[in-house]
Amino acid sequence: MTTTTDALNPAHPIDHGHGADHGHGGHDAHDHHHAPAGWRRWVYATNHKDIGTMYLWFAFSMFLLGGTFALGIRAELFSPGMQFWQPEFFNQLTTLHGVIMVFGAIMPAFTGLMNWMIPLMIGAPDMAFARMNNWSFWLLPPAAMLLIISLFVPGGGPGAGWTFYPPLSVQLGAGMDFGIFAIHLMGLSSIMGSINIVTTILNMRAPGMTLLKMPMFAWTSLVTAYLLIAVAPVLAGAVTMLLTDRHFGTHFFNAAGGGDPILFQHVFWFFGHPEVYIMALPAFGVVSQILPTFSRKPLFGYVSMVYAVCAIAILSFMVWGHHMFAVGFPATAQLFYMFMTMLIAVPTGVKVFNWISTMWQGSMTFETPMLFAIGFLCLFTIGGMSGLVLSLAPVDIQLHGTYYVVAHFHYVLVAGALFSLFGATYYWLPKWTGNMYSERMGKLHFWWSMIAFNITFFPMHFLGLAGMPRRIPDYALQFTTFNEVASVGAFLFGFAQILFLYNVIHTIRGGVGPSPQRPWDGATTLEWDVACPAPHHTWTEPPSLALVREGLIAQGLEESTHVEELK
Amino acid sequence: MTSLALQRQQGNRRTARRLLLAVLAMLGFSFAMVPFYNVFCRVMGIQQDRTAVADAPVAGWQQQVLFDSNVAAGVPMQIRALDARREGHAGGLMKARFELRNLADTPLGVRAVPSYAPLSAVRYVEKVQCFCFDAIHLAPREVREVTVVLVFKSDLPATLGPITLSYTVFGLDGGKQQTTATAQSIAKAAT
């Protein structure tokens, strides 16, 4: 992140003048000692750290935008009746909040983390395709612009919900087309990013680091990238069919032309359910890095963790029907999707118990990343449990389209994905900036977020059980009190994120002082073996076998005798 | 470039090509889901093929439908049911036409709002296509023919009696006001 380009890791001197190809494809003649300065550094960026940084800042700005839309929703819902918006603008707010948070905030944030950390953690000099990496990032700002512009075209933005169900999405105005093109661009970006991540992980690992010895974050990234490669094209196909139905006279989803709107739901959720794990698996990876570090113990049941991730990924292709229990499936189909969905609780349970066992009898300390990881563990489990409730077809038909669903997916996406991202930021911020963040402010951010989050979303369970439908701008009077509580919580949660922004900027500007190369006691993965802040180019020469093994022994993945033999 | 780097680059390209193939295959799969879905539904008998409805031999009794049309006060247009009375069958399709006429010298945006009598008919009659689904924009003095296509459910009871399907045409002015209000609220949100 800084221009201390060649501050080398003193423990592992690297002959950096020549030799190793550092991911520029070997065709670049430019001298990699001097990264281009000014705007060129970012627009022409091919360095995985620069691109990762841009991803993270982009995701954060989208997070604030999507959060502003969420506050617009909560402001309207503070009391019954219409306060601020017209119903159609309220629909646009919910739609854009969903689309921006999913495709603009959570996914790019994880891609940014992967860009930054995967090469560092597996000992690669850069991502496999550095120029494609640049392209995958720079497709995102135009996509975001399309979504924002859509609000100002006649008829306003897409208002069909983030799921874009026809027939509404076929009938809406031009804003919907902007939404469709934005999804195309973001899908393209995800596909290219995923190809890069899979290739990097499969082909560019350090010597001695076999697949089953990679850090868990690399594993979850690999599986996530595979999921994206499988389902991002399906989403592209679904919205393309919408587009041709809207403008080119096809009838994929038009009943009058022999099509079927339910078909869209099948295609969408074939993408949509794996998408849930695309947002959850990297969070699992982050937590699997943080918990062992601050428990000062190796991750419990590493191999079972890997198999659990793979099992979740495979099962995610067989459960999409549980989003559609209310469309009138035959009982056989309902039972199939119900049992497959309940089955996912098994590998997820394996993970949760492994995390708890990792902490068991560890020498735990509670720095901010650890707090967010434990917060994740508690709240994600609650979200998982409400998911299990929803997996039951007879219960789901009752709860379908209520605030119970809203509560459920915010527990897994905010307390799950987002909390893990906060944890990851505090965990790796010293490595990125070279400075230590303020522990006091970090803890304040955690507790503020934790309490405000629960004030916002816990009451929604009860609203849903009582029958309040989602995506409505007005509601029956008996729901008032809990909606007031949720709205107050939402504004508190929103302001907590300004504190997060302050913490990050404060750390970049020096924080509470420079960070040592390995700020955390129990951190044993390869990224802690490079200098702090991480130099512009790292691992131009792969880490030595001895160094890799040293880490693997600390992670409990290899017996120490191997190293002794080596020595 | 060292041979290691060259090897690695070749390996990377090979992996990327395979992944790209997977992407294209999945894109194809998304479109292949369309015919597969139709076949699957037919085989499972989950949903009858809608195109087959029109051709199916109709065994049900005759169901009379009356079409009625009105224009809300102050909207400068006429609507006329070209098929004021039609007969359909349980499990069958029915199509009816209406004529919209803009009486003003200015463009006109309207929307038709349907209502059924008796109300219990709603359960048995499904609008597959309807001019009431969309906002309609008429050029000055334009005359346009529009249609509604209905499907009668196969369990349509014989005791229902004639069904009246009535359309009232409203101007989009209300909609326009709402659009302005939306724009204002966006502006408010921005400030």
Chain B residues in contact with A86 by the CB 8 A cut-off are 178, 181-182, 185
Residue A556 is classified by DSSP as T
Residue B76 CB partners (closer than 8 Å, separation 6+) = B102, B103, B104, B108
- The tens digit of pLDDT for each residue in A108-145 reads 999 999 999 999 999 999 999 999 999 999 999 999 99
Residues of chain B neighbouring A194 (CB-CB closer than 8 A):
19
Does position A159 have pLDDT exceeding 80, yes or no?
Answer: yes
Q: Is B65 left (phi over 0), alpha (psi -120 to 50) or beta?
A: beta
Chain A partners within 8 Å of B50 (Cβ) = 255, 258, 260
Q: What is the pLDDT of residue A89?
A: 93
Chain A neighbors of B20, CB-CB under 8 A: 195
Per-residue CA distances from A148 to A242, A283, B40 (Å): 20, 28, 40
Size of interface A-B (CB pairs under 8 A): 120
Q: A450-468 burial by CB neighbour count: b if 16+ within 10 A, else e?
A: bebbbbbbbbbbbbbeeeb
Name the minimum distance, in Å, from the CA of A562 to any CA of chain B: 26
Q: Do A26 and B9 touch (CB under 8 A)?
A: yes
Q: Do A195 and B179 touch (CB under 8 A)?
A: no
Instruction: Report how far residue A375's alpha carbon sits from residue A497's, in angstroms, rounded to the nearest whole number.
Output: 16
Task: Give the pLDDT band (50/70/90) at residue A13.
Answer: very low
Mutate to test the interface with A, among B3, B9, B26 (most CBs of A within 10 A): B26
Work out the average pLDDT over A143-153. 95
Residue B147 near residue B98 (C-beta atoms within 8 A): yes
Residue of B nearest to A233 (CA): B27
**Which residue positions in chain B have pLDDT lower than 50?**
175-183
pLDDT at A181 over 50: yes
Asked whether the beta carbons of residue A89 and residue B182 sit closer than 8 angstroms, the reply is yes
Over 50: is that where the pLDDT of A154 sits? yes
Question: Which carries the bigger pLDDT value, residue B40 or residue A48?
Answer: A48
Active site residue A564: no
Regarding predicted confidence, which is higher, B178 or A535?
Answer: A535
Interchain CB distance below 8 Å, B33 and A198 = no
What token pair was written down for A25? 């494809």
Contact A268, A235 (CB under 8 A): yes
Asked whether the beta carbons of residue B15 and residue A202 sit closer than 8 angstroms, the reply is yes
Q: Of the listed A221, A288, A391, A420, which one is catalytic?
A: A288
Which ranges of A139-215 does DSSP label H, i.e. alpha helix? 140-150, 168-171, 174-203
Taking the C-alpha atoms of residue A341 and residue A517, their distance in angstroms, rounded to an integer, is 44
Give the residue extent of every domain in chain B: 1-47, 56-174
Higher-confidence position of A158 and A26? A158
pLDDT in the model for residue B182: 46
- The C-alpha angle with vertex A106 and arms to A528 and B185, in degrees rounded to 5, equals 140
Q: Is A403 a catalytic residue?
A: no
Portion 170-199 of A in contact with B at CB < 8 A:
171, 191, 194-195, 198-199
Place of tokens 């891609």: A111
Q: Which CATH number applies to A39-566?
A: 1.20.210.10
Least confident of A191-195, A546-550, B84-88: B84-88
Residue-wise pLDDT for A345-390, tens only, equals: 999 999 999 999 999 999 999 999 999 999 999 999 999 999 999 9
**Residue A110, Cβ neighbours under 10 Å: how many?**
30
Three-state helix/strand/coil letters over A252-304: CCCHHHCCCHHHHHHHHHHHHHHHHHHHHHHHHHHHHHHHHHHHCCCCCCHHH
Torsion of CA A111, A116, A119, A123, to 10 degrees: -150
Q: How far is CA B91 from each of CA A275, B35, B38, B50, B58, rounded to the nearest angstrom?
A: 40, 24, 19, 11, 7
- Indicate which residue of A162, A219, A355, A432 is catalytic: A162
Q: Residue A212: beta bridge partners?
A: none
Largest CA distance in chain B: 87
What pLDDT score was predicted for residue A5? 37
Burial class (CB in 10 A: 0-12, 13-18, 19+), B35: exposed
> What are the angstrom distances between the C-alpha of B174 and each of A153, A395, A425, B112?
18, 40, 49, 13
DSSP string, A430-473: HHHHSB---HHHHHHHHHHHHHHHHHHHHHHHHHHHTTPBSS-S
B100-159 residues touching A, CB cutoff 8 A? 128-129, 133-134, 149
C-alpha distance from residue A394 to each of A226, A324, A342, A390 (Å): 33, 12, 14, 9
Residue holding tokens 């193939």? B21
Residue from A48, A74, A97, A246 carrying the catalytic annotation: A97
Residue A23 has pLDDT above 50, yes or no: no
**Percentage of residues in chain A with pLDDT exceeding 70?**
93
Asked whether the predicted pLDDT for residue A31 surpasses 90, the reply is no
Mean pLDDT of chain A: 91
Indicate which of B18, B27, B129 best probes the interface with A, i.e. most A CBs within 10 Å of its own CB. Answer: B27
Interatomic CA distance for residues A344 and A309, integer angstroms: 10
Mean pLDDT of A267-278: 95
pLDDT for A322 equals 95
Residue A7 has pLDDT above 60, yes or no: no
Print burial letters for A393-428: b (CB count within 10 Å at least 16), e (below 16).
Answer: beebeebbebbbbbbbbbbbbbbbbbbbbbbbbbbb
The SS3 call for residue B86 is strand
Q: Using one digit for the tens of pLDDT, what is the confidence trace for A441-466?
A: 999 999 999 999 999 999 999 999 99
Residues from chain B that touch A255, judged by Cβ atoms under 8 A, are 50, 128-129
Q: Which of residues 447-476 of A touch B (CB under 8 A)?
A: none
Among residues A169, A190, A358, A538, the one annotated as catalytic is A190
Q: Is A461 a catalytic residue?
A: no
pLDDT score at B119: 84
- What fold characterizes domain B56-174? Ctag/Cox11 (Pfam 04442) (2.60.370)
Domain definitions of chain A by residue range: 39-566
Indicate the SS3 state at residue B31: helix
- Residue A94: name the closest of A66, A120, A119 by CA: A66
Catalytic, A433? Answer no
Q: Which amino acid, residue B50?
A: R
Please name the member of A26, A89, A230 whose beta carbon is closest to the beta carbon of B185. A89
B181 or A230: which leads in pLDDT: A230
CA distance A209 to chain B (A): 16
Nearest to B9 by CA among A45, A206, A203, A46: A203
Distance from CA of B102 to the nearest CA of A (A): 23
